[in-house]
């Protein structure tokens, strides 16, 4: 049995995560949720004074906007679509028959207008673009959503449905890169208060296929993505618990995000993997929250 399986098993045994029979799809106990709620409060204390506009979207997004985002070009392997039965009485009969004999009943399901949200910030860009030009001081948004990625794994830190808290900044290059640096510093400080060892490193997204290799190189060469890493299931390969992304003007151009003077907005987003941070805390300080160091408990619960 490898390390990953054993941490996952201990999480199941303690009840913190609830097995559903699907790798990466878990229920969470009240205690687990308490940690996430407390951590989100900590995020608020660090970011609250910045005056971000809060928005909450459901974990599904407009399929047409998802198509426009280009997600299927970059990450087709991770996407999840919502399909439904749209047939007649007769189709229903054959559907039930199909299920009865154990055939594939899903093949006649039709795509709906909804796809599963791959990252909390995806529904934001078209929403803001629709409002017209951003004010000269730019825009700052506070998001949280369950996100779906088709990456089943026995690593409890790699789930298929997980929550991402994000801040998204839109403005000039200087403005959004300053924003990103501010949150890198804050992220390190927050984790220090939580007694977690972190490193920050340049990173890349898992762009698909041969064409994706070029995008990986470009992203790394230009330092477009950084991650804050914390050891969870491996010390050799610590887990990304936060990421800091600078999109240059690519989203601004794609969605038509402009500043007051008509220039194309640059954008950056900072994401917290909420389950991963909770798991890092449980891994580092133990599965019993009452046994956590007093300083950590004070940071989270006052």
Residues that bind ligand ATP (CB under 6 A): 119, 149, 151, 157-159, 162, 164, 205, 227, 240-243, 271, 273, 275-276
CB 205 to ligand ATP: min, Å: 6
Residue 93, Cβ neighbours under 10 Å: how many? 11
Residue 281: which of ligand ATP, Zn ion, none does it interact with, CB under 5 to 8 A by kind?
none
Residue 155: which of ligand ATP, Zn ion, none does it interact with, CB under 5 to 8 A by kind?
none
Q: Measured from the CB atom, is 177 or 245 closer to ligand ATP?
A: 245
Our finding on whether 121 is near Zn ion (CB under 5 A) is yes
Number of residues written out for the chain:
302
Whether 160 and 77 have beta carbons less than 8 Å apart is answered as: no
Residue 151: which of ligand ATP, Zn ion, none does it interact with, CB under 5 to 8 A by kind?
ligand ATP
Residue 98, Cβ neighbours under 10 Å: how many? 15
Stretch that binds Zn ion, among 23-31, 62-70, 215-223, 264-272 (CB under 5 A): 264-272
Choice from 43, 157, 194, 269 touching Zn ion (CB under 5 A): 269
Phi, psi at residue 28, to the nearest 5°? Answer: -125, 140
Q: Measured from the CB atom, is 49 or 236 closer to ligand ATP?
A: 236
CB 69 to Zn ion: min, Å: 11
Residue 159: which of ligand ATP, Zn ion, none does it interact with, CB under 5 to 8 A by kind?
ligand ATP
Q: How far is CA 277 from CA 28, 134, 253, 284, in A?
A: 14, 33, 33, 10
Whether 157 and 239 have beta carbons less than 8 Å apart is answered as: yes
CB 86 to ligand ATP: min, Å: 30
Q: How far apart are CA 302 and CA 156, in angstroms?
A: 28
Whose tokens are 């290059």? That residue is 173
Q: How far apart are CA 254 and CA 53, in angstroms?
A: 22
Q: Kindly state the number of chain residues that form the binding site for Zn ion, as judged by CB under 5 A.
A: 3
Q: Measured from the CB atom, is 169 or 194 closer to Zn ion?
A: 169
Q: How far apart are CA 171 and CA 150, in angstroms?
A: 32
Contact set with Zn ion (CB under 5 A): 119, 121, 269
């Amino acid at each position: 049995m490898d390390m990953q399986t054993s941490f996952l098993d201990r999480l199941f045994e303690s009840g913190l995560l609830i097995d559903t029979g699907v790798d990466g799809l878990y229920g969470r106990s009240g205690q687990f949720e308490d940690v996430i709620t407390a951590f989100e409060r900590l995020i608020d204390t660090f970011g609250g004074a910045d005056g971000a506009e809060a928005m909450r979207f459901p974990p599904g997004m407009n399929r047409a906007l998802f198509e426009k985002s280009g997600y299927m070009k970059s990450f087709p392997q991770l996407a999840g679509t919502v399909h439904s039965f749209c047939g007649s009485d007769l189709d229903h009969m054959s559907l039930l028959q199909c299920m009865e004999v154990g055939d594939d009943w899903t093949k006649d399901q039709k795509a709906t207008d909804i796809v599963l949200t791959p990252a909390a910030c995806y529904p934001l860009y078209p929403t803001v673009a629709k409002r017209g030009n951003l004010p000269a001081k730019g825009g700052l948004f506070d998001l949280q959503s369950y996100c779906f990625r088709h990456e089943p794994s026995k690593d409890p830190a790699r789930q298929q449905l997980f929550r991402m808290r994000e801040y998204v900044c839109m403005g000039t290059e200087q403005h959004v890169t300053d924003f990103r640096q501010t949150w890198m510093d804050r992220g390190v400080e927050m984790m220090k208060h939580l007694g977690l060892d972190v490193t920050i490193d340049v990173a890349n997204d898992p762009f698909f296929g041969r064409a994706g290799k070029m995008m990986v190189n470009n992203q790394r060469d230009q330092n477009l993505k950084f991650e804050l890493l914390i050891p969870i299931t491996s010390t050799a390969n610590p887990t990304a618990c936060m990421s800091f992304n600078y999109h240059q003007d690519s989203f601004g151009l794609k969605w038509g995000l402009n500043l007051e003077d008509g220039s194309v907005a640059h954008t950056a987003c900072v994401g917290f993997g909420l389950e991963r941070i909770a798991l890092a805390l449980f891994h580092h300080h133990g599965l019993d929250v009452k046994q956590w160091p007093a300083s950590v408990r004070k940071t989270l619960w006052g």
